[in-house]
Amino acid sequence: MATLIKNKRIAPDSWQLLSPAVDGGLSELPQSGDWIVPLTLWQAKRAAHGGRIGVLLENTDDPRVLAEDFDKLALIAVRFPKFTDGRGYSIARLLRRMGWQGELRAVGDVLRDQLFYMTRCGFDAFALRDDQDPQVALSAFGDFTAPYQAAVDDGARLGSARAPSKPAASALSPW
Protein backbone atom coordinates (compact mmCIF):
# COMPACT_ATOMS: atom_id res chain seq x y z
CA MET A 1 0.00 0.00 0.00
CA ALA A 2 1.32 3.41 -0.92
CA THR A 3 2.07 5.72 1.96
CA LEU A 4 -0.08 8.81 1.95
CA ILE A 5 1.28 12.26 2.62
CA LYS A 6 -1.41 14.83 3.23
CA ASN A 7 -0.95 18.46 4.13
CA LYS A 8 2.78 17.77 4.46
CA ARG A 9 2.34 14.94 7.00
CA ILE A 10 2.20 11.19 6.81
CA ALA A 11 -1.50 10.44 7.15
CA PRO A 12 -3.78 7.40 7.46
CA ASP A 13 -5.65 6.62 4.28
CA SER A 14 -9.30 5.58 4.32
CA TRP A 15 -9.64 5.60 0.55
CA GLN A 16 -9.67 2.62 -1.76
CA LEU A 17 -9.11 2.73 -5.48
CA LEU A 18 -11.80 0.98 -7.50
CA SER A 19 -10.32 -0.79 -10.49
CA PRO A 20 -12.37 -1.36 -13.64
CA ALA A 21 -14.33 -4.62 -13.68
CA VAL A 22 -12.50 -7.75 -14.74
CA ASP A 23 -14.50 -8.03 -17.96
CA GLY A 24 -13.48 -4.47 -18.83
CA GLY A 25 -17.02 -3.18 -18.30
CA LEU A 26 -18.17 -0.80 -15.60
CA SER A 27 -18.22 -2.00 -12.00
CA GLU A 28 -20.98 -1.03 -9.67
CA LEU A 29 -20.43 1.79 -7.20
CA PRO A 30 -19.83 0.21 -3.79
CA GLN A 31 -22.57 1.01 -1.31
CA SER A 32 -20.36 2.14 1.53
CA GLY A 33 -16.79 3.23 2.34
CA ASP A 34 -14.53 5.81 0.70
CA TRP A 35 -13.91 4.95 -2.92
CA ILE A 36 -11.91 6.59 -5.68
CA VAL A 37 -13.54 5.58 -8.95
CA PRO A 38 -12.59 6.03 -12.60
CA LEU A 39 -14.12 9.02 -14.34
CA THR A 40 -16.19 6.87 -16.73
CA LEU A 41 -17.80 5.01 -13.84
CA TRP A 42 -18.60 8.24 -12.05
CA GLN A 43 -20.16 9.71 -15.14
CA ALA A 44 -22.31 6.63 -15.70
CA LYS A 45 -23.50 5.97 -12.15
CA ARG A 46 -23.02 9.18 -10.25
CA ALA A 47 -26.25 9.01 -8.20
CA ALA A 48 -26.29 5.82 -6.20
CA HIS A 49 -23.81 5.82 -3.36
CA GLY A 50 -24.00 5.91 0.42
CA GLY A 51 -20.37 6.66 1.35
CA ARG A 52 -17.81 9.22 0.15
CA ILE A 53 -16.73 9.28 -3.48
CA GLY A 54 -13.62 10.54 -5.20
CA VAL A 55 -12.87 10.55 -8.92
CA LEU A 56 -9.66 9.48 -10.60
CA LEU A 57 -8.62 11.54 -13.62
CA GLU A 58 -6.19 10.21 -16.15
CA ASN A 59 -3.89 12.88 -17.46
CA THR A 60 -5.65 12.77 -20.83
CA ASP A 61 -9.00 13.63 -19.23
CA ASP A 62 -10.41 17.12 -19.37
CA PRO A 63 -10.96 18.28 -15.78
CA ARG A 64 -13.73 20.63 -16.91
CA VAL A 65 -16.16 17.71 -17.09
CA LEU A 66 -16.21 17.71 -13.28
CA ALA A 67 -17.13 21.37 -12.95
CA GLU A 68 -20.75 20.65 -11.97
CA ASP A 69 -19.87 17.79 -9.63
CA PHE A 70 -17.63 19.44 -7.06
CA ASP A 71 -20.26 19.43 -4.32
CA LYS A 72 -20.82 15.69 -4.74
CA LEU A 73 -17.15 14.74 -4.53
CA ALA A 74 -14.87 14.40 -1.52
CA LEU A 75 -11.62 13.94 -3.43
CA ILE A 76 -10.11 14.23 -6.88
CA ALA A 77 -7.09 12.15 -7.81
CA VAL A 78 -4.84 12.67 -10.84
CA ARG A 79 -2.73 9.79 -12.07
CA PHE A 80 0.91 10.20 -13.08
CA PRO A 81 1.66 7.22 -15.33
CA LYS A 82 5.32 8.31 -15.39
CA PHE A 83 6.73 11.12 -13.31
CA THR A 84 8.23 12.64 -16.46
CA ASP A 85 4.77 13.10 -17.95
CA GLY A 86 3.87 16.60 -16.78
CA ARG A 87 0.24 16.83 -17.91
CA GLY A 88 -0.99 16.26 -14.36
CA TYR A 89 0.54 19.56 -13.21
CA SER A 90 -1.61 21.54 -15.61
CA ILE A 91 -4.71 19.53 -14.68
CA ALA A 92 -4.14 20.36 -11.02
CA ARG A 93 -3.85 24.05 -11.75
CA LEU A 94 -7.03 23.98 -13.82
CA LEU A 95 -8.95 22.19 -11.06
CA ARG A 96 -7.88 24.74 -8.47
CA ARG A 97 -8.76 27.56 -10.82
CA MET A 98 -12.19 26.03 -11.32
CA GLY A 99 -12.65 26.32 -7.58
CA TRP A 100 -12.01 22.79 -6.35
CA GLN A 101 -11.11 23.15 -2.68
CA GLY A 102 -11.19 19.56 -1.52
CA GLU A 103 -8.37 17.04 -1.43
CA LEU A 104 -6.36 16.88 -4.67
CA ARG A 105 -4.31 13.75 -4.68
CA ALA A 106 -1.41 12.73 -6.92
CA VAL A 107 -1.30 8.97 -7.51
CA GLY A 108 0.89 6.69 -9.59
CA ASP A 109 4.57 7.49 -10.24
CA VAL A 110 4.75 9.97 -7.37
CA LEU A 111 8.31 10.56 -6.16
CA ARG A 112 10.02 12.66 -3.53
CA ASP A 113 11.73 14.95 -5.98
CA GLN A 114 8.54 16.21 -7.59
CA LEU A 115 6.53 16.95 -4.44
CA PHE A 116 7.61 20.58 -4.25
CA TYR A 117 6.38 21.35 -7.76
CA MET A 118 3.21 19.32 -7.29
CA THR A 119 2.35 21.26 -4.15
CA ARG A 120 2.82 24.54 -5.94
CA CYS A 121 0.41 23.37 -8.64
CA GLY A 122 -2.30 22.64 -6.11
CA PHE A 123 -1.86 19.03 -4.96
CA ASP A 124 -2.19 18.61 -1.21
CA ALA A 125 -2.08 14.81 -0.99
CA PHE A 126 0.39 12.31 -2.40
CA ALA A 127 0.09 8.55 -2.62
CA LEU A 128 3.79 7.80 -2.90
CA ARG A 129 5.18 5.14 -5.20
CA ASP A 130 5.83 2.04 -3.09
CA ASP A 131 9.62 2.33 -3.00
CA GLN A 132 9.63 5.90 -1.67
CA ASP A 133 10.83 6.56 1.87
CA PRO A 134 8.10 8.76 3.39
CA GLN A 135 10.46 10.43 5.86
CA VAL A 136 12.82 11.43 3.05
CA ALA A 137 9.82 12.59 1.05
CA LEU A 138 8.69 14.96 3.79
CA SER A 139 11.89 16.98 3.40
CA ALA A 140 10.87 17.85 -0.18
CA PHE A 141 8.51 20.59 0.91
CA GLY A 142 11.45 22.69 2.05
CA ASP A 143 13.47 22.41 -1.18
CA PHE A 144 12.98 26.10 -1.91
CA THR A 145 11.81 28.88 0.36
CA ALA A 146 11.23 31.76 -2.07
CA PRO A 147 9.83 30.84 -5.47
CA TYR A 148 9.92 33.46 -8.18
CA GLN A 149 6.61 33.00 -9.89
CA ALA A 150 2.98 32.94 -8.84
CA ALA A 151 1.35 29.53 -8.68
CA VAL A 152 -1.53 27.94 -6.78
CA ASP A 153 0.16 27.90 -3.38
CA ASP A 154 0.46 31.67 -3.09
CA GLY A 155 -0.75 34.74 -4.88
CA ALA A 156 2.66 36.39 -4.92
CA ARG A 157 3.56 38.08 -8.17
CA LEU A 158 6.92 38.04 -9.77
CA GLY A 159 9.04 40.58 -7.97
CA SER A 160 6.50 41.59 -5.33
CA ALA A 161 7.98 39.46 -2.57
CA ARG A 162 11.23 41.33 -2.86
CA ALA A 163 12.97 44.09 -1.02
CA PRO A 164 11.96 47.64 -1.98
CA SER A 165 13.91 48.69 -5.00
CA LYS A 166 16.98 50.85 -5.04
CA PRO A 167 16.72 54.12 -6.92
CA ALA A 168 16.57 53.22 -10.56
CA ALA A 169 18.89 56.01 -11.68
CA SER A 170 21.46 53.88 -13.50
CA ALA A 171 19.08 51.15 -14.53
CA LEU A 172 18.63 49.93 -18.06
CA SER A 173 15.42 51.12 -19.54
CA PRO A 174 12.99 48.41 -20.51
CA TRP A 175 10.64 50.99 -22.05
Partner 1 sequence: MYRYDEIDQRIVAERVEQFRDQTQRFLAGTLGEDDFKPLRLQNGLYIQKHAPMLRVAVPYGLLSSAQVRMFGHIARKYDRGYGHFSTRQNIQFNWPKLAQVPDILADLATVEMHAVQTSGNCIRNITADHLAGISPDELVNPLVWCEVLRQWSTFHPEFAFLPRKFKIAVSGSEADRAAIQVHDIGLQATRNTQGEVGFKVYVGGGLGRTPIVGQVIREFLPWQHLITYLEAVIRVYNRYGRRDNLYKARIKILVKERGLAAYREEVEAEWAQLVDGAGTLTKDIVDDIASRFTQPAYRRLPKEDSELKTFLSAERAFARWHGRNVHAHKVPGYAAVTLSLKRPGVPPGDVTADQLDAIAALADKYSFGELRVTHEQNLVLPDVEQRQLLALWREAKALGLATPNLGLLTNIIACPGGDFCSLANAVSIPVALAISERFENLDYVHDIGELDLNISGCMNSCGHHHVGHIGILGVDKNGEEWYQISIGGQQGNHASIGKVIGPSFARAEVPDVIEKLIEYYLEHRDSAEERFIDVAERLGIEPFKKHVYGDTHQKQAHRARQLATA
Task: Give the nearer residue to partner 1 in terms of CB position, either 32 or 170.
Answer: 170
Binding site for partner 1 (CB under 8 A): 83-87, 89-91, 93, 97, 111, 113-114, 116-121, 133, 136, 143-151, 155-163, 165-168, 170-175
- Residue 103 C-beta: closest distance to partner 1, Å: 19
Task: Give the nearer residue to partner 1 in terms of CB position, either 104 or 114.
Answer: 114
- Residue 83 C-beta: closest distance to partner 1, Å: 7
Q: Which residues contact 97 (CB under 8 A, 6 or more apart)?
A: none
Task: Give the nearer residue to partner 1 in terms of CB position, either 22 or 163.
Answer: 163
Task: Give the nearer residue to partner 1 in terms of CB position, either 28 or 157.
Answer: 157
- The bridge status of strand 4-6 relative to strand 15-17 is unpaired
What's the CA gap between 58 and 107, in Å, rounded?
10
Task: Give the nearer residue to partner 1 in terms of CB position, either 38 or 122.
Answer: 122
- Residue 22 C-beta: closest distance to partner 1, Å: 28
Q: Which residues contact 27 (CB under 8 A, 6 or more apart)?
A: 18, 19, 20, 21, 37, 41
DSSP 113: G
Taking the alpha carbons at both ends of the chain, their separation in whole angstroms is 57
- Residue 17 C-beta: closest distance to partner 1, Å: 23
- Residue 158 C-beta: closest distance to partner 1, Å: 6
Q: How far is CA 162 from CA 157, 158, 159, 169, 173, in A?
A: 10, 9, 6, 19, 20
